[in-house]
Amino acid sequence: MTGLILKKELKELFRTSKVMWMLGGIIVLMALALYNGTSYYQTHSHLIRESQQVTYQQFISQGDKNPHLGAHFGFYAYKPTADMAMIENGIEDYTGNSFYLEPHKRGVVRFKEISDATGLRSFGFLNIGFFTEFILPLFIFLICHNIFSKEWENGTIKMLLSSKANPRQIFMGKLFACLSLVMGIVVLIAAASFILFISETETVGFISRVLPAYACYLAGLILFSTMMTTIGVSVSLLTRTANLSLIILSGFWLIGVFLLPRLAGELSKNIHPSTTSLEFENNTFNEKQYGVGDEGHKDVRREALLQRTMAQYQVKRIEDLPVFFIPITIEFFEDSDGQVMDRAYQAVDDNEAKQDRLVLNSAWLTPFLAFRDFSMRITATDMKTHNDFASKAEAHRRKIGVIVDDFYQKNTVAGNAFWKTVPQFSYTAPGIGWRISNATDSIFILLGWTVFATGLMVYAYRKMTV
């Protein structure tokens, strides 16, 4: 009986011109999202690979120079475009992609894509991530809002309930009809995205690198789509009028997509205010100059370093040292200043984590925010992955400093043969286990919303009486 109701509802859906127009529009938008995502990936991945190679080639071919001056020539460490950026670019446009590797200066990730974008970009970038997080739920609500309410308005609910089908079969038949339509779109997204992955990404390591994350993303999308459909059908049954059902569902969508995330963002900034650039610079400058606690001023620490170095080489004068003292000083303060900057940036990251946690907690009021957070973390386009890139780029910068300073202790001129010993930077985003562990909160919230949708469904079909 459930199957018969399913077939009946599908026929009615496909006979409705409104649904067919919506299906046509949704397919066009999906195709455009796939095209935009692919273009984004192709453009950015090519540009970053080329820029990485060009800047490094310039560095290793700079010719004879003082080692320290040559190190200041520097080169950029670029964050590679995420393998799944063609379906979800997350916050990539807002965080930048390049980190300058230069002595004494902890780099800041620069070149934010959004800074060169037009005002239209504030409405979002249409790719599969945007499509599934914002457009697909609206489409689901539009096809579900009158799946039951039409029966109440047309007076056919009595005929339906007097048939051989019980309320559970009626409810499940209508739910499965809507789910069939929604899952058809999900299957199209999955198939098209997978084909693009195979054609655009490097085949070496594709299965181990991309496929597990993509499978997790699709599992989350299926759960989210099923949940939205269940809520839509349940509300349609409980409201009994198409207009009221549409008002409730569209209001739920508008509040969850636009209002709550912005309110949560503003609230997080007020509760956990960020350190200003001026405060950050003043604090780190003072700690570098005067030390933390009883470390002492830089001059005091430099003198103590000199005495230790002369004692190590058993000499009485700096002129008698068998190595140059300047690179020893540089390396010492590079390490000391690095500890200051590590503390300062860790404080920034901790405050940022508090803001993110508060925003994510608001996802208990809106599943759209939870799915967006899940999507970004699984595709490695989130802030946690960005911070991982920045920390590894900083570690590479310090590694270069040690290599140069060790060479500088016994050499005053470095040529291309030495510059080629400085390693190129390479970054790979953490694997699927790391990503899932970071997405635990959003997964838990999505499961909570799934429990709510299931409870609403049970409550709704028990209310199916005339």
CB atoms within 10 A of CB 232: 26
CA distance 179 to 427: 40
pLDDT at 258: 87
Cα 217 to chain centroid, rounded: 12
Q: Looking at the predicted structure, is the pLDDT value of residue 120 above 50?
A: no
Residue 355 is assigned to a structural domain of this protein: no
Q: Which residue has the tokens 């071919």?
A: 61
288 within some domain? no
Half-sphere exposure of 24 (CA within 13 A, CB side): 7
- pLDDT at 119 exceeding the cut of 60: no
If you average pLDDT over residues 140-149, what whole number do you get? 87
357 is a domain residue: no
Which stretches of 240-361 are DSSP H helices? 242-254, 260-271, 277-290, 298-313, 325-361
Q: pLDDT digit string (tens) for 34-91?
A: 888 888 888 888 888 888 889 899 999 998 988 888 888 888 888 888 888 888 888 8
First to last CA, the chain: 20
pLDDT of residue 450: 95
Instruction: Assess contact for 161 and 464: CB atoms under 8 A.
Output: yes
Q: 0.85 cut: is pTM over it?
A: yes
Query: Based on the structure, what is the number of domains in the chain?
Result: 1
- Asked if residue 282 belongs to a domain, the reply is no
Q: Is 111 within a domain?
A: yes
Q: What's the mean per-residue pLDDT of the chain?
A: 84
Spatial CA neighbour of 137 closest among 264, 55, 243, 223: 223
Q: Give the whole-angstrom CA distance, residue 334 versus residue 297.
A: 15
Structural domain contains residue 287: no
pLDDT digits (tens, 9 = 90+) for 200-210: 655 556 667 78
256: pLDDT strictly greater than 50? yes
* Residue range(s) defining the domain that contains residue 423: 2-271+368-462
Is residue 317 domain-resident? Answer: no
- As a whole number, mean pLDDT of residues 410-417 equals 89
> Whose CA is closest to 49, among 39, 57, 37?
57
Average of per-residue pLDDT across 309-330: 84
Distance CA 364, CA 124 (A): 23
Closest CA to 116 of 55, 28, 47: 47
Q: Is the pLDDT of residue 194 over 90?
A: no
In the block, tokens 């390396």 appear at 331
Among the residue ranges 113-117, 194-198, 350-354, 374-378, the one predicted with the least confidence is 113-117
Report pLDDT for 205: 62
Whether 24 maps to a domain, the answer reads yes
pLDDT value for 235: 92
